Amino acid sequence: MTKTERARKESEGGTRSFTLAIEGSTYEGSVALLSDSAVIAERQIRREDGTVSPIGMGEQLMPAIAECLEENRVKRGEIARIVCGSGPGSFTSLRVAASVAKGLAAGYGVELFAVSSLLLTVTGAKLGLGPGEYLSVLDAKRDEVFAARISLDTGGFAAQAGPAIILTAEQISEVSRDGVRIIGPGREIDATPHARGVYAVLPSILAAGPVDLASWEPDYGRLAEAQVRWEAEHGRPLIP
């Protein structure tokens, strides 16, 4: 039985309930649809030639969501919640994903939950990761990375040790010498954050509670380059 067939079969017993997950911390955004803790549909945001680009993710995100919902015949009232990757990462991509997630949550009348994108790199990896300690990293520009230490136990439970920090290449090397494996785009374990990773940490996401829909913003990690240049030129904060 396929995932889609299983989801349809579940509907025979009553109203179905789904979680829609959206991740956009990199230009390679993603979408996943979960029934309970099972991923029943997913999409990766890429160009037709298989490449990724900072331009056009917003245009591809909504069709990807629509495809996941349509192939499982999910109705409006069957979306129980929205979960969005909270970063850190690309300012533009995060802003697009967060805007879509907030708009859908408001439109569906459901709560919005947030989860670390660095955590979704580990839980969303299709590489059969074993238990242990991982350093999840994403490009932060300026020869630095956003990083967080993630522990994965034998039962597949993952936890992030504290908020994301910014590390240099030298600092990453020091961590790896302690036996911690580096995971991230182009790293020892080559992986990007993926919305499907929500399935592994959904209970802890729900336990943390929803975000405030009106005020929530993702964790950009640092100011956008354009804002940094503006503030340097004008000698004052762009936002007081």
Domain CATH code at residue 30: 3.30.420.40
The verdict on residue 51 lying in a domain is yes
| pLDDT, tens only, 21-32 | 999 999 889 999
Name the residue among 189, 185, 188, 48 with its Cα closest to residue 117: 185
Q: Is residue 211 part of a domain?
A: yes
Query: Into how many domains does the chain fold?
Result: 1
Residue 36 lies in a domain: yes
DSSP conformation letters of 213-229? TTT-----SS--HHHHH
Domain that holds residue 56: 3-123+193-234
Per residue in 74-95, pLDDT (tens digit) is 999 999 999 999 999 998 899 9
- pLDDT above 60 for 210: yes
Residue 85 placed within a domain: yes
For 17-65, how does the pLDDT look when each residue is reduced to its tens digit (9 = 90+)? 999 999 999 988 999 999 988 999 999 987 555 555 555 667 789 999 9
